Structure 1
């Protein structure tokens, strides 16, 4: 039997509140039973079975917004000095983690400042690394080419690159080029779901009582409130939707959206804020309770975790045909597609499902089946473990050493 690997994850953001954080957290948990796992990131909350190295940043920045830091700057807004401050902090804490944990391989998430640190660690310590591209990192580089040169150097030096969807992979090629050496080491591996966490017998009576939803159809959105998520079109559609529209999340567009709802005089939209770790059970109850889940994204969204989470509960999804979403959703089979930036189409598709319980059940059961067949963390963790074992061999460090025992 192969010896356990020590795998160090590097992540720019907290482990709750964004799709990539959920990705890192769940992959780490899934691997922790048979491997030694550590995560270095700006997080202090514990993850069972995982060693945490909290990164203390001088300030927080995000690619498109983060619900736990709704007033943070975007990376594209940072001054050269601020970028340098973040790089120094990321590198300092990443080095501390390496010195203490002595990993066999590093898994860096996002092409960004922290991945530059992974490149440094490879050069100095000889620790090979892989990079997972989540999509928002590419969006940041599209906005601000200052991040291109060092990010390209980092991905070129990586032993392996994975992208969360085929569309994200194509986007990667558009930004960094599609030379043969890059193409040879890129794979598409999506995010996953731990089905044991999605109890479809979960009672929602207390949720109905708490939020006064008894007898009301519920239409749900969950995610970061940024312009790219297209939530404004759901708010506009609420004028014609025959049910309660529940919006869970926070971000830089929250006040714009609440102002829009007030100006339109819609009384069936509820903004419930960000649901963090302590609210996880309530979030799951909303997935279970919702009659329809809507994700009206207007950008090339990687396959959003919230879509998979809704599908895991057998909740029919109404989504745009953007980015990696078609990897999981097939129109009329396990969900419905809507036109981007089209509130009337959202309302029409949602109302048609609200009026047809049998159709909702059919789409929801098909959605659950797709998750069971393609998107469980057991299957996805095994794919990553094969990569770790293959890429942990060999090295390029100061003394050419790779034995981290």
Structure 2
């Protein structure tokens, strides 16, 4: 019989777990924490704020107060050296204090699971400077920068959100492949599930698009790497060809924790006007989870035109869980997610191929097996499935010191 693991899940210092709206990493950390508890582990979630409107169930929640005057002073000083890591000294000290408190109250910590650069120093300090046997695991949600290699070398294991990220980490940072396991992002398949036909008509009224014959959706941050400008240019061509459609855009103007109209978002709005496609495009802002689910519900197509090497976009998993076809550029880890019966992968990142792919979906020229798609997501990317794989790997590291099932 396997021992019950005591696991500390470290959220980011940017948003609470779960976030009110958006925040893929924070959403994942909360979701996987719940699933791990349901799979038999004891989980301690460390987050910047415990939300009163969230039922955390059997998760032990520990809060990290970043509004303390000392935290603010530390940030002002150290952000002059490194803007991204301005919170690291204060975070490290406070997190180590939380780790010690957990051990005092509950017993030995078996695993500390870190998900973000700024929170990744504290587990190292706890393990090596305080002489603990705790297994420390780093979860890479994006391409790691070269300055993180010194940290990864000292972690017991590295989890990558796709084979693409695993290969990148191995080849660019020269991290031992045997130390890296792939743990894909997950989706709550009980929340993101197909809508009934009557629901679709009702929800179209919510978004004011009852008359739209075809709805395609872009969900994500309005930043250059997400490629919204490609989709806007493609929409112009589709409109010129006489297609009747509505493009609905949902997501923050820039970062989730700090929105701004300036820069790329303003460029996109100006592009919409200059292309003369305002009647075809509607910006919905950053939606709460219920409304985001409703948006998937009414969508005929979800488009992911990422022009960077996207590691493992949750939007694709959410769309497929609801039985919606996806058109996406074949960047980063996306080809690992999207099956042939779920939409179209575009090998060349340009608007000509994007237009062709969207046209093929509009005309019904692509075979989409929605039943198979929904089952595919449940079988491979539900939180329960991902949690069981994660726990299996953590048990291997705790018991054997290495990963057998990477």
Q: Normalization by structure 1: what TM-score?
A: 0.81
CA distance change for structure 1 residues 329 and 239 in 2, over 3 Å: closer, same or farther? same
Deviation of 1:346 after TM superposition, in Å, equals: 1.9
- Give the Cα separation in 2 of the matches to 1:83 and 1:192: 26
1:265 maps onto 2:276 in alignment = yes
Summarize the alignment of residues 271-310 of structure 1 with structure 2, pairs less than 5 Å apart.
271-275=283-287, 279-310=288-319
Of 107, 123, 127, 1:118 maps to: 123
5 Å matches for 1:280-359?
Answer: 280-330=289-339, 332-356=340-364, 359=366
- Distance in 1 (CA, whole Å) between partners of 2:101 and 2:251 is 36
Residue 81 of structure 1 deviates from its aligned partner by 5.5
The alpha-carbon deviation at position 58 of structure 1 amounts to 6.5
Residue 130 of structure 1, aligned match among 132, 137, 151 = 137
Cα distance, 1:393 vs structure 2 = 4.8
- Residue 89 of structure 2 corresponds to 88
Aligned partner of residue 221 in structure 2, secondary structure: coil
**Per-residue deviation, 1:175:** 3.1
Evaluate the alpha carbon distance shift between residue 194 and residue 328 of structure 1 in structure 2; reply closer, same or farther with a 3 A threshold.
same
Quote the residue 1:74 is aligned against: none
Gaps of 5+ in 1: 60-76, 396-405
1:380 to partner: Cα distance: 1.2
Q: Is 1:40 equivalent to 2:51 in the alignment?
A: no
Q: What are the within-5 Å matches in structure 2 for residues 34-73 of structure 1?
A: 34-45=40-51, 46=54, 48-49=56-57, 50-57=59-66
Q: Is the 8 A contact 1:132 1:161 kept in 2?
A: yes
Moved over 6 A (4+): none
CA distances 1:245-284 after superposition (whole Å, capped 9, x unpaired): 0111013232222222122221211111111xxx211111
Structure 2 CA distance for partners of 1:394 and 1:336, relative to 1, 3 Å: closer
1:108 is aligned to 114
Displacement of 1:6 in angstroms is 1.8
Indicate which of 192, 210, 214 corresponds to 2:210.
214
Name the counterpart of 1:29: 34
**Cα distance, 1:223 vs. partner?**
1.3
Contact 2:96 2:125 in 1 (8 A): no
**Distance change >3 Å, CA 240–CA 81, structure 1 → 2:** closer
Report the count of equivalent residues.
358
Q: In structure 1, how many angstroms separate the alpha carbons of the residues matched to 2:328 and 2:79?
A: 33
CA–CA separation in structure 1 for the residues paired with 2:208 and 2:291: 14
Residues in 2 aligned to 1:24 and 1:393: alpha-carbon distance in whole angstroms: 24
**Equivalent residue number for residue 149 of structure 2:** 152
Cα 1:25–1:11 change in 2 (3 A) is: same
Q: Secondary structure at the match of 1:214?
A: coil
**What's the TM-score, normalizing by structure 2?**
0.81
Aligned residue for 1:129, secondary structure, equals strand
- In 2, Cα distance between equivalents of 1:84 and 1:221: 31
How far does the alpha carbon of each residue in 1:56-78 deviate from its partner, in whole angstroms, 9 at most, with x for none? Answer: 3469xxxxxxxxxxxxxxxxx95
Partner residue, 1:192: 186
- Mapped to 2, the partners of 1:81 and 1:353 lie a distance apart of 46
- Give 3-state SS (helix, strand or coil) of 1:196's partner: coil
Unaligned 5+ residue runs, structure 2?
69-77, 104-108, 255-263, 402-406
| Mean Cα deviation higher: 156-165 or 9-18 | 9-18
Residue 73 of structure 2 is matched in structure 1 by none
2:165 equivalent in structure 1: 168
Q: Structure 2 CA distance, aligned partners of 1:392 and 1:352?
A: 50
In structure 2, distance between residues paired with 1:383 and 1:235: 39
* Cα separation, 1, equivalents of 2:84 and 2:359: 47
Name the structure 2 match of 1:72: none
User: Structure 2: how far apart are the matches of 1:230 and 1:155?
Assistant: 30
